[in-house]
Structure 1
Amino acid sequence: MKGKLVRAEGHLANIIPIHLDASFFFERAVRSLDRNHVDKALKYFRKAVEYEPENPVNHCNMAGILSEKGDYEASNAILANVLEVVDPSMTECYFYMANNYANMDRFEEAEQALVTYLEEDTQGQFMTEAEEMMELLYYELDRPTKLNRIKSRKGVVEHDQARELLEEGKFAQAAELLEGMSSDYPDYLAARNNLALAYYYMGLFPKAKETIAEVLEQEPGNLHALCNLAIFHQNENRADQVLLLIKKLRVIVPFQHEQVYKLATTMGILGQHDTAYVHFRRLLKDEETAADPALAHYAAVAAYNTERYDAAERLWHHVSKLDPGSEVSRYYLSGLEAVKQGEQEPEKLSYHYHLPFDEQFRQWENYGSGIPEEMKNDPLIRSSFFWALRHGDRATKLQVIHALGMIGDYEVQQALQSFIEEPGEEKDLLEAAQTVLNGLKSAEHEDRNSQVVRPFSPIALKSIGKVPSTSEQSDTGSTSHWQAVVDRALQMSEAKAELQHEMERLWTDYVSRVHPEVPGTKQIEGWAAGLEYLAAKNHSRPVTYQSIAERYGISASTVSKYAKQIHSVCNSKPPLV
């Protein structure tokens, strides 16, 4: 017996004991999933939770399997328990819950869970997937999701909105948004730099300079802040401070496109045209920026200002190819030819991709058509107006007041009101500004009243069912590029008659609803691409933003932007892919 017992003990000594713990059942669950044994995996994860109830990962794994099995309610119950009891910091659970709600077609609850995830999650692990779900919810709920912030991006949403406003020339609105960010994101220096630019474009130099000082206090070597400060000092005629900053900036060789662009334009404005030319040429050699007509124009200006006339001529011809409809390259090529023929003395040119201020006014007066619609929204032109309103001579200020009256939006009213409150302005200028401002407010009041009493104006009713004719467009202040959008979409799509009719129907519907507002001519590609995308979706055609974007030579986000704008007005509801 004893010998047998020894043998038995020796035999038992070769057996590896099993430790039944959470790790054991976790490994079994993973192995079952690899073999596609979903029910077994769920059973093992339940056992893992029993052994380690405080471990949120096991709970989430169990919720994931229930979601795979289509038991979305049970999955969300587990996820809610994780957030309420086990580990409230597991904010990714909100994203999982949003997926479950979407699969149950409970889109309002999906939106609420998704917004909570974006506003509370610090890591942003599922940002790409969240953006795709936002797009799905946009179409299902027929409205954009209200999102105040994305925590993992620390103010990126607000900053992107502010940058869009700056690019659209809406400086006061951008400033309001960026001011609100200052307390929430005190370390977000890019937002502070853009706030300084907004103040600068509005002519509020002391506030701009104060904001830049705050940035440099936190980061003395911040390139954007140093560039902005140098320009501010130049406006104040502080030559000694400008020279000190030029010495700093000339030895900097940045590699990021945005920083090279900023440094090049700054050096040009500061009169360091040789340095500016070198940096602009660097950008033109890069395929990511080589097709930008504004950049090619800036390089041409730098070449001209350094008497590289042959290079300037080549560059302006290049601008003509990149932007065939622009008057800018033709104007400057004409001036260059006059200088080369000795008919005109060379003068330093400014770094703006539009016609000189006086030339713009001369053309508008000659044409008798007022300010073209696309120029009203050009941020460079708008900023030049606001600048001239505060710092031009008396005649220029009168011209600007008249021009601003033809634009008449919120930004203009803010600028005129600020001008009226400015001490020391001449009485007749103040009276002219007040007259224009009163007229704008009166027109705005009448528009609101007419909308209440008569929802459809006679013009809009007349145009329902057809794109306005050229004569109707001229009567209402519109231009013929309404038709150019649908023409471009038809030309690019090469679609069958059914889809072409749908594009014409959609565009006619959109035009009739927003008439007499007019999209700018520079956005025709975007409008046409968005129109084609919606029409294809309405006819269940397999299409993506990216596939449309590649044919039109624009970004997928641009296609999405204009498709959503048409969709929001027309309330069309394309099926999802």
Structure 2
Amino acid sequence: MIERTSENVAEGSNVISVTLDANFFFERAVRSLDRFQYDKALKNFRKAVEYEPENPVNHCNMAGILSEMGDYEASNDILIHVLEKIDPAMTECHFYMANNFANMESFEEAERSLVTYLEEDASGEYLAESEELMELLQYELNRPAPLIRIRSREGVVEHDRARTLLEEGKFPQAVKMLEEITKNTPDFLAAHNNLALAYFYMGRFAKAKECLSEVLEQDPGNLHALCNMAIFMQYAGDKEQLAVLLRMLEATVPFHQEHVFKMATTMGILGRHRTAYGHFRRLLKDEEVGGDAGLYHYCAAAASNSSLYNEALRCWRQAAKLDPESAVPGFFLSQLQGAQAEGRPMPLVSYNYQLPFQEQLKQWQGNTDSFTEEMRNNPLLRASFFWALRYGDANTRLQVTEALRWIEDEEMSEVLNGLLAQEPLQEDKLQEAALLSLQRLIGSSPDANAAPQEELPPLSHKGPPEWKEDWQRVLDHTASMMDRRYDAIQKKDAELLWKQFVSDLYPDVPYFRHTGGWAAALEYLTAKLHDRPITYREVAQHYGVSASMVSRYARRISNECDIPGSLPGQETLPSSTENI
């Protein structure tokens, strides 16, 4: 550092020595900035750079002044010099350049610089400002930014995609993506919440509650998690805990638009329609969303379900004006007006902005092409079909399952697989319809060499009035041993076969003491029905039983259920006597 004085003075004079260094000129530049004297500030920052040319901060200060003066190109030249010649780790230079390019309306260059900043600095100082700038650039460029590789937004892009899949009713794909996100970023609470919803829609209630518990451990006041937990409690029949949680939620007045909507829809699902109506009314006063036809339908549904019929009529009429092409407002207006004319109460109305499920099915009867097109292009409809499969009554589930066989879609195969793989279905017709639909979908796949799957004999409708513990043990053991080695339809076939066997034996069903032997026989027969190569010895070794036991039990099941051609010729086996 060089020390200079203003004049050569005589010894003992009262003149104060002034040190001319980078700090001196920096302080003078700052004072000039405070007075908005940009020319003087620039001159002093340039002097600071002369004294400390390797200090990147001084260069950036000079670039900042030039930007304030509107000389964006000169500012960027300095920033490029810093990155190339002085300190490549000065990542904020990319953010400054992005702002300069945006001011020059060079939006492509601005986007490139901003993405570079976000890619190179995962915890930078300007992340919040970067989000705002990114929104501006997306608006100007009329497209989203390429943010796939940005560490600072790790999981965000994937989460947005997963949310889209969830909204489209593509639950299996959403689950896969959300599981990966939550594994990599365990503190990403929104991803946990959406994963819980995806699990719930697929009927995986235990996993759904586990996800929510993880969220509430990190953030006990998370409104989305609390609302979702309340819904899960209702479906689980947990009335006591639900009552406590509901009292807390009903006393909550959310502020943010997203939270108001979440609370409104949650209250509607939980049957607190008057509370839901109040929240929806609040949203209608918001200019951003108040012109949405769907929101007017939600408010109308809440009003109708609260017996506020005049308000419901007003809202549906407004929805019809905002969305004249939709049949939904007109349908419910007609229903409500008919109910009022006859002096009867209006049935409960779904909050989904679409025609009632049964009404949609009627419209598509005999017109599979229209149905197929609508299912592929209407995310809400797909979601409602999946929901009906899981929570509809027996007749609705049967209709949906039969309808799905005409949608040649990999996702539909996954949904039907999931339906069959979950808890045993109680309705035999629904089991058969699901299997037939799934087999048709599999048969229509591009693999022309795939062997057609053989159908099991239908279950008898007469059967035992209650299911015994030893019968269920065989089923559980079989399912456990077949897991990961057989697909869902094959495991379901094993279950159906066992139920057929027990049903045919009833009322003279013995006590099944050798669980492993019966389970092994069940797997053996299922494998044969699906043309899988297997021997008695192989399956016996897997289950830890004797091959003779497997042979004998398999023949007993086969003979009782009249399964033609399911067993090979007699194998040479060591003799053994086993009791049931």
The TM-score with structure 1 as length reference comes to: 0.63
Which residue of 33, 48, 52 corresponds with 1:49? 52
Distance 1:181-1:135 versus aligned 2 partners, 3 A rule: same
Deviation at residue 437 of structure 1 after TM alignment: 2.7
Deviation at residue 160 of structure 1 after TM alignment: 2.9
3-state SS of 2:281 partner: helix
Partner residue of 1:78? 82
Partner residue of 1:148? 149
Is contact 1:171–1:198 with CA below 8 Å preserved after alignment?
A: yes
CA distance in 2, matches of 1:35, 1:444: 76
Distance 1:128-1:376 versus aligned 2 partners, 3 A rule: same
CA distance in 2, matches of 1:44, 1:165: 57
Partner residue of 1:483? none
Partner residue of 2:328? 328
Distance 1:387-1:130 versus aligned 2 partners, 3 A rule: closer
Is contact 1:21–1:48 with CA below 8 Å preserved after alignment?
A: yes
Deviation sequence 1:177-204 (CA, Å, 0-9, x none)? 3222223433332222122122222332
Matched, 1:116 2:130: no
Deviation at residue 114 of structure 1 after TM alignment: 4.5
Higher relative helix content:
1
Is contact 1:115–1:147 with CA below 8 Å preserved after alignment?
A: no
Deviation at residue 354 of structure 1 after TM alignment: 1.1
CA distance in 1, matches of 2:179, 2:126: 25
Matched, 1:221 2:221: yes
Deviation sequence 1:297-323 (CA, Å, 0-9, x none)? 121112212222222111111111121
Partner residue of 2:438? 434
Deviation at residue 324 of structure 1 after TM alignment: 1.0
Is contact 2:196–2:207 with CA below 8 Å preserved after alignment?
A: yes
CA distance in 2, matches of 1:301, 1:156: 34
Matched, 1:205 2:205: yes
Matched, 1:163 2:186: no
The amino acid of 1:60's aligned partner reads C
The amino acid of 1:145's aligned partner reads P
Deviation sequence 1:38-77 (CA, Å, 0-9, x none)? 9966752432425xx5x54124346777996669777535
Matched, 1:279 2:283: no
* The 10-residue stretch of structure 1 (263-272 or 29-38) with the greater mean CA deviation from structure 2: 29-38
Is contact 1:416–1:437 with CA below 8 Å preserved after alignment?
A: no
Is contact 1:417–1:437 with CA below 8 Å preserved after alignment?
A: no
Query: Which entry has the higher C-alpha Rg, 1 or 2?
Result: 2
Deviation at residue 170 of structure 1 after TM alignment: 2.9
CA distance in 2, matches of 1:109, 1:249: 45
CA distance in 2, matches of 1:109, 1:263: 39
Q: How does 1:185-334 map to 2 (within 5 A)?
A: 185-334=185-334
Distance 1:162-1:244 versus aligned 2 partners, 3 A rule: same
The amino acid of 2:205's aligned partner reads F
Deviation sequence 1:20-50 (CA, Å, 0-9, x none)? 1212233566769956599966752432425
Is contact 1:193–1:211 with CA below 8 Å preserved after alignment?
A: yes
The amino acid of 2:262's aligned partner reads K
Distance 1:35-1:297 versus aligned 2 partners, 3 A rule: closer
Is contact 1:168–1:377 with CA below 8 Å preserved after alignment?
A: no
Partner residue of 1:530? none
CA distance in 2, matches of 1:308, 1:213: 37
Deviation at residue 172 of structure 1 after TM alignment: 2.8
* The 10-residue stretch of structure 1 (178-187 or 274-283) with the greater mean CA deviation from structure 2: 178-187
Is contact 1:264–1:275 with CA below 8 Å preserved after alignment?
A: yes
CA distance in 2, matches of 1:310, 1:100: 56
The count of corresponding residues between Structure 1 and Structure 2 is 426
CA distance in 1, matches of 2:145, 2:236: 45
Is contact 2:389–2:397 with CA below 8 Å preserved after alignment?
A: yes
Q: How does 1:58-137 map to 2 (within 5 A)?
A: 58-61=58-61, 75-80=79-84, 83-84=87-88, 88=89, 90-95=90-95, 113-114=116-117, 116-117=119-120, 119=122, 121=124, 123-124=126-127, 125-129=129-133
CA distance in 1, matches of 2:279, 2:132: 34
CA distance in 2, matches of 1:444, 1:132: 51
Is contact 1:203–1:386 with CA below 8 Å preserved after alignment?
A: no
Consecutive unaligned residues in structure 2, runs of 5 or more? 1-8, 450-580
Distance 1:150-1:318 versus aligned 2 partners, 3 A rule: farther
Distance 1:134-1:62 versus aligned 2 partners, 3 A rule: farther
CA distance in 1, matches of 2:300, 2:138: 43
CA distance in 1, matches of 2:277, 2:111: 54
Is contact 2:168–2:383 with CA below 8 Å preserved after alignment?
A: no
Is contact 1:162–1:177 with CA below 8 Å preserved after alignment?
A: yes
Partner residue of 1:346? 346
CA distance in 2, matches of 1:311, 1:337: 13
Distance 1:68-1:406 versus aligned 2 partners, 3 A rule: same
3-state SS of 1:17 partner: coil
3-state SS of 2:146 partner: coil
The amino acid of 1:167's aligned partner reads E
The TM-score with structure 2 as length reference comes to: 0.62
Deviation at residue 390 of structure 1 after TM alignment: 3.0
Consecutive unaligned residues in structure 1, runs of 5 or more? 1-7, 446-577
Aligned residues with identical type, % of pairs: 44
